[in-house]
Amino acid sequence: MAASALAPPSSTWLVGSCMSVPCDGERPRGQWRLSYSRKSCSSAASGKAMAVALQPEKKVIDNNRADTEQRRVVVTGMGVVTPLGHDPDVFYNNLLEGVSGISEIETFDCSSYPTRIAGEIKSFSSAGWVAPKLSKRMDKFMLYLLTAGKKALEHGGITEDVMTQLDKTRCGVLIGSAMGGMKVFNDAIEALRVSYKKINPFCVPFTTTNMGSAILAIDLGWMGPNYSISTACATSNFCILNAANHIRRGEADVMLCGGSDAAIVPIGLGGFVACRALSQRNDDPAKASRPWDADRDGFVMGEGAGVLILEELDHAKKRGAQIYAEFLGGSVTCDAYHMTEPHPEGTGIILCIEKALEESGVTREDVNYINAHATSTLSGDVKEYQALIHCFGQKPGLRVNSTKSMTGHLLGAAGAVEAVAAIQAIRTSWIHPNINLDKPEDNVDASILVGSTKERLDVKVALSNSFGFGGHNSSILFAPYK
């Protein structure tokens, strides 16, 4: 979908001072209706603000429990911006081939830092996706988000013609970020050394985590649920699960959801260095991210975005959409233990996985593929592994891998990008390798871990985990659509 300079997507939408409403007399579905006079329509057409009154009316949709349970949620489109490519198939083929996206940082001079490597995106253009006048001022996390979001629409067959047929009051955007506009924030600090007058006038909106979702919704004219969630590195999974719940509750038919982050800037790198969380294997970047390996020395920062189209099943079938997988459900919990360290017994992770299985109606035996959080940190990898063994045992046929071994840790975008990897595994019946797993940790039995090459697997149910600073845990499940 081409850039629209953030203008309304069709001539039937008149923009007022603070909102857009359909001016064809059609009433949006739901609890509220938009009423306006013929006079207010003509004044809006002449460029003046439209007077809009919100009036309560009876709900069109009955959101009782029985109806909600019947609303199935499917994945009908995917968009990515990653160190391994900006197309879902290119991205996944690189994963299957064991290609590393970790390299030396080039966007700024980090020669004085103990860590000088990252999963940095080297080649990216928002041309054709974001209006040039805005792309010059936007933070990269927003550019990645908007581009991945529009690529997901293209991948899902939501063309301009299809867009005109959608009920946009029932289409929403829920894409989060762990860090927000770090480059805009970093640049503002540098500008302030000279004068506040040098600060980007968009500094405040472009640093907030919600603004990517907001601008994408403005650009598309989508008036359904629109917000962001920020739960550190669990952000994407929280967004995906909440987006699915909006559909299940009958509040939306289509949701764009996922996460985006671009924190490879001086203040972002410096902050994680100060946490002593990063690998310092600068002499061999491709070998630096090594989940479960005995010689791991920390995680590797990454950047990018991942966006899914979640859609109510009947809605997807009516428009003839290709269905890539079904979203079964998920769960979120809190360790309630420490800001950065996992619970020593893995209690929160175990509870999260068990609740996800229960909520989704999935048995332990159903799950045969797990895309683990596994960041390559000393404590995190082992605690997650122990939790997985507690929940699933070492059952034959269970396979576990970590996308981060090749992408690095994409922070708030990680869960969405890894959800794409899980969906691609369902589609292709191939799961990607764990690279750099040369010598597994002593208390890790590698029998359930994927080796150094891709493996064939008919995925029954895929589980994807994401955990974040603050003790945020999230687990989501996908399966082939039947």
What are the residue numbers of the active site?
Answer: 233, 373, 409
Task: Identify whether the C-beta of residue 102 lies closer than 8 Å to the C-beta of residue 168.
Answer: no
Residue position matching structure tokens 């609890």? 31
Residue position matching structure tokens 């979203």? 327
- Quickly count: other Cβ atoms within 10 Å of residue 45's Cβ: 11
Residue position matching structure tokens 């739960």? 231
Task: Identify whether the C-beta of residue 118 lies closer than 8 Å to the C-beta of residue 408.
Answer: yes
Q: Which residues pair with 130 in a beta bridge?
A: none
